[in-house]
Amino acid sequence: AQSVAQPEDQVNVAEGNPLTVKCTYSVSGNPYLFWYVQYPNRGLQFLLKYITGDNLVKGSYGFEAEFNKSQTSFHLKKPSALVSDSALYFCAVRDLDNQGGKLIFGQGTELSVKP
């Protein structure tokens, strides 16, 4: 069975500082990992994904994530946070046991960037 965990409910950073939103995963095969962002009363926006290849994945809005197989982690990072990055972030893994390929989401991490 596939699962993801986001150990932090909330992350607070100052504008201009680097940010990290943590995600760990558990899969029974090759992991297909995704990050999404959700602004209030909106759907989810795709940020980036890891399928195979380079462990460092670059995505939208300056975000990147590092796939670490030994630590089973896929942390989301950004070198310099913006106030506009404040939102709810979800890590997800594809359920390889599901014919439709549904995504399994973490519980979400609320990122707050203060000026």
Partner 1 sequence: GAVVSQHPSRVICKSGTSVKIECRSLDFQATTMFWYRQFPKQSLMLMATSNEGSKATYEQGVEKDKFLINHASLTLSTLTVTSAHPEDSSFYICSARDLQGWGTEAFFGQGTRLTVV
94 CB-contact burial (10 Å; exposed 0-12 / middle 13-18 / buried 19+): buried
The DSSP letter of residue 62 is: G
User: What is the C-alpha separation between 97 and 72, in angstroms, rounded?
Assistant: 19
In the complex with partner 1, the residue whose CB is nearer, 36 or 67, is 36
Residues 6 or more apart in contact with residue 31 via CB below 8 angstroms: 2, 25, 50, 67, 74, 93, 94
In the complex with partner 1, the residue whose CB is nearer, 16 or 62, is 62
Binders of partner 1 in range 80-109 (CB under 8 A): 88, 90, 94, 96, 98, 100-103, 105-108
In the complex with partner 1, the residue whose CB is nearer, 5 or 16, is 5
String marking each residue 36-75 x if it binds partner 1 according to CB under 8 A? x----xxxxxx--x-xx-----------------------
The DSSP letter of residue 69 is: T
Q: Footprint of partner 1 on this chain (CB under 8 A)?
A: 32, 34, 36, 41-46, 49, 51-52, 88, 90, 94, 96, 98, 100-103, 105-108, 110
